[in-house]
Chains A and B, each alone.
Chain A
């Protein structure tokens, strides 16, 4: 069975540019979470969605926005990119808020 699919896997951007990351959850999973993991750091919770509605918000900068679409995939939009935004961005999905999260392989963003 397919896992959580994230795209792109790698992304290089310049400062002040914008970037969009996509996440396709496991089939029938209705909850999506976004985490940011800096080099050598633990994943930090950004935002989550349940049934296309924002369910929780963490340390997500105002420059970032996200949404979940009718097919349950989610997109994380990042604008005015800064060097400090360079990180691995993980998406995870679960079914109806169960605590068993399945993580994607991550999207590595490098801001130059």
Chain B
């Protein structure tokens, strides 16, 4: 079983929809949680970064971490066609240590 599980999708939504992306994990030592966006043939780009449990909001993006349930989420409000990409959750045990990625969810936002 993988340490980080993420539904690969694909997920297709209409423009303006609220998108919910999720990951579960099994390693209770993970303390740092990130969401990366990856466009086709490009490197992952950091979207959100949170430490331990809680919520973090940045514009149309909200990241939630529930360590008790080992569950993290990324919400995208008012989704745009430019949000179409693969979204990868990533986690690490300590700052600067290796990242363990989820499989990535492929999102398409249709105009």
Contact = CB atoms under 8 A, between A and B. Distances in A.
A33 interface: yes
- Give the one of B6, B32, B34, B43 with max A CB within 10 A: B43
B98 A105 contact: no
Interface residues of B, number: 25
Interface residues of A, number: 29
Interface of A: 4, 31, 33, 35, 40-45, 48, 50, 56, 58, 90, 92, 94, 96-106, 108
24 contacts: A35-B99, A42-B88, A42-B101, A43-B44, A44-B101, A45-B100, A50-B96, A90-B43, A92-B43, A94-B96, A97-B95, A99-B32, A99-B49, A100-B46, A101-B46, A101-B99, A102-B46, A103-B43, A103-B45, A104-B43, A105-B42, A105-B43, A106-B41, A106-B43
